[in-house]
Structure 1
Amino acid sequence: MTADAPHALHYGALVPAVVHFDDLDALGLLHNGRYPVMAERAWTAYWEERGFAYTGDWAEAGDACNAVKELSVSYERPVTRTGPYAVHLWLERLGRTGLTYGFRFCSADGAGTYARGSRVLVRVDAATLRPAAWSEPFRALAQELLRPEH
């Protein structure tokens, strides 16, 4: 457990995740490439529950039409078993056209951290693929996820 991984979260959201047998590598560890996938699935579930879903049509995607600019993951200890876990999600920064989100892949209760990372997203216009502003409804919900200043 790390100092900033309390049992009761003070910011962000904790989204359940499940590690399956086929997520493990030849050594029986969660494959390093699966951590960002687990975070992406958690974000997708989080936003879909709030009405922001990608339907397969970029023109209709709105705020779900975005591109990854940067991804960073730090692995703290290996996941050695299948079963229930969680992804702790939060926003570090919310700009006009971009945002930086943080995540921790953690125990189901949020107490233990296995990996942490961040990802920079840019909202893009479906027609031009140029940066576009986040909608006001998205911004209002995203504000709730901002991590307090440390």
Structure 2
Amino acid sequence: MTTEAPSVLRYGSLVPVEVHFDDLDALGLLHNARYPLMVERAWTAFWNERGFVFEGDWHAAGDMCNAVKELHISYQAPVNRTGDYAVHLWIERLGRTGLTYGFRFCSADGALTYARGTRVLVRLHPDTLRPEPWSERLRSSAQELVKP
């Protein structure tokens, strides 16, 4: 496990998540497919708190009309119990139409890292599903996540 200074994040945001019994596999470990799900829940919670909500209408979704282009994850230590954890989120790169963010699935205080990775999103036009630039509103809101 990687130990990081939990008291103050130097960048990004630590978002709480909860591991439930049905997230565990037959051996009692957090199933490998659940890590990206937990990261998605944290990412969604982060943006929802800032007023970016997707409710099924692609035209009204704005910046939330996006798709995953890439996902990379490295599992560093097993999670072997239910309970409170966290996802540390940050932005590695914010381009014109793409966004690369980093994440760590970690203990609730951020001290222990169980998995880490990156994910690339592309904002899409709701009619053509072609890349479209991120709004200034998202760019402004995203600044707190940008890794120095």
| Interval containing the TM-score (normalised by the shorter chain) | over 0.9
Deviation track 1:55-79 (CA, whole Å, cap 9, x = no partner) reads: 1010110000001000001000000
Aligned to 1:106: 106
When the two chains are superposed, the root-mean-square deviation of aligned CA atoms in Å is: 0.8
Structure 1 position 6 matched with structure 2 position 19: no
Q: Does 1:90 align with 2:90?
A: yes
| CA-CA distance at 1:144 after TM superposition | 1.6
Partner of 1:80: 80
Confirm whether residue 66 of structure 1 aligns to residue 66 of structure 2.
Answer: yes
TM-score for the superposition, normalised by structure 2:
0.97
Q: Distance in 2 between matches of 1:55 and 1:18?
A: 23
Alpha-carbon distance in structure 2 between the residues aligned to 1:2 and 1:102:
16
Question: Can you give the 5+ residue segments of structure 1 that lack an aligned partner in the other structure?
Answer: none
Q: Which runs of 5+ in 2 are unaligned?
A: none
Q: Distance in 2 between matches of 1:12 and 1:64?
A: 19
Q: Percent identity?
A: 72
Aligned length: 147
The aligned counterpart of 1:19 is 19
Q: Distance in 2 between matches of 1:146 and 1:106?
A: 19
| Rounded Cα–Cα distance in structure 2 between residues aligned with 1:120 and 1:11 | 19
Q: CA deviation at 1:2?
A: 2.4
